[in-house]
Amino acid sequence: MDFSLNEQQEMMQTLARDFLSTEYSDKVLREMAASERGFTDELWQKVAAINLTGLTIPEEYGGAGDFLDLTVVLEEMGKFCLISPFFSTMVLGAQAIIEAGSDEQKQRFLPRIAGGKLIMTLALTEPSARYMADAVTVKASHENGQFVISGTKLFVSDAHVSDYIICVARTKEASNPEDGITLFVIDINTPGMSVNLLDTISGDKQCEVAFDNVKVSGEDILGEVDEGWPYVEKIMAKAAVGRCAEMVGVARQVLNMTLDYAKERMAFGHPIGAFQSIQHRCADMLVDVDGSRFITYQAAWKINEGLPADREVSMAKAWAGQACQRVVSSAHQIHGAIGFTEDHILHFYTKKASACKFSFGDNHFHLEKLAGQSI
What pLDDT, in 10s, does the model give residues 112-144? Answer: 999 999 999 999 999 999 999 999 999 999 988
* pLDDT level of residue 375 (50, 70, 90 thresholds): low
Q: Tell me whether residue 280 is in a domain.
A: yes
The domain in which residue 347 lies consists of: 230-371
Same domain, residue pair 152 and 273: no
Residues 99-132 as b or e (16 or more Cβ within 10 Å = b): bbbeeebbebbbbbbbbbebbbbbbbbbeeeebe
Q: Same domain for 295 and 283?
A: yes
Mean pLDDT of 28-33: 96
Name the domain boundary from 118, 146, 181. Answer: 118
Structural domain ending residue among the three candidates 83, 118, 153: 118
Ramachandran quadrant class, 58 (left: phi over 0; alpha: psi -120 to 50; beta: rest): beta
Q: Is residue 332 part of a domain?
A: yes
Task: Look up the CATH number of the domain holding residue 93.
Answer: 1.10.540.10
Domain end marker among 227, 254, 276:
227
Percentage of the chain lying above the pLDDT 90 cut = 95
Burial of 169 (C-beta count, 10 Å sphere; 0-12/13-18/19+): buried
Please tell me whether residues 12 and 111 are part of one structural domain: yes
- Strands 193-197 and 181-187 come out as unpaired
1 domain-assigned: no
Instruction: Examine the domain organization and report whether 234 and 366 are in the same domain.
Output: yes
* Judgement on whether residues 270 and 210 belong to the same structural domain of the protein: no
- Do 65 and 101 share a domain, yes or no? yes
Beta-sheet pairing, 181-187 with 221-222: antiparallel
Q: What is the pLDDT of residues 52-94, one digit of tens each?
A: 999 999 999 999 999 999 999 999 999 999 999 999 999 999 9
Same domain, 242 and 348: yes
User: In DSSP terms, which residues pair with 182 in a beta bridge?
Assistant: 169
Q: pLDDT tier at 1 (50, 70, 90 boundaries)? A: low
Arithmetic mean of pLDDT, 161-179: 97
pLDDT tens digits, residue range 177-210?
999 999 999 999 999 999 999 999 889 999 999 9
The residue among 56, 68, 65 whose CA lies nearest residue 97 is 56
Mark whether 280 and 194 lie in a shared domain.
no
45 & 107 share domain: yes
pLDDT at residue 4, rounded to an integer = 85
Structural domain count of the chain: 3
Report CA torsion sign: 117, 22, 57, 178. negative
**Are 101 and 211 in the same domain?**
no
43 and 169 inside one domain: no
User: pTM to 2 decimals?
Assistant: 0.96
pLDDT (tens digit, 9 = 90+) per residue, 312-330? 999 999 999 999 999 999 9
Indicate the average pLDDT of the chain.
Answer: 96
Residue 13 near residue 76, CB atoms below 8 Å: yes
pLDDT in tens, 253-293: 999 999 999 999 999 999 999 999 999 999 999 999 999 99
